[in-house]
Amino acid sequence: MPCCSVPLLSDGSGAPIGVQVVGAPGNDAGVLRAAHRLMQAFAA
């Protein structure tokens, strides 16, 4: 089962806040696409 941890931002004390993207077995590319989109959305 492919998964990827994505750091998105940090709280007031500097602790990281993120999400874990988990996909169906064999959907590695889909997990990476979703992680990339999340990173782009939170970079704005």
The per-residue pLDDT for range 1-44, each reduced to its tens digit, is 999 999 999 999 999 999 999 999 999 999 999 999 999 999 86
Please count the structural domains in the chain: 1
Identify the pLDDT of residue 11: 92
Identify the pLDDT of residue 43: 85
The reported pTM is: 0.82
Identify the pLDDT of residue 23: 98
| Best CA proximity match to 22, nearest among 36, 40, 2, 42 | 2
> Domain of 25?
3-43
SS3 percent helix, strand, coil of the chain, rounded to 5, is: 35, 35, 30
Identify the pLDDT of residue 36: 96
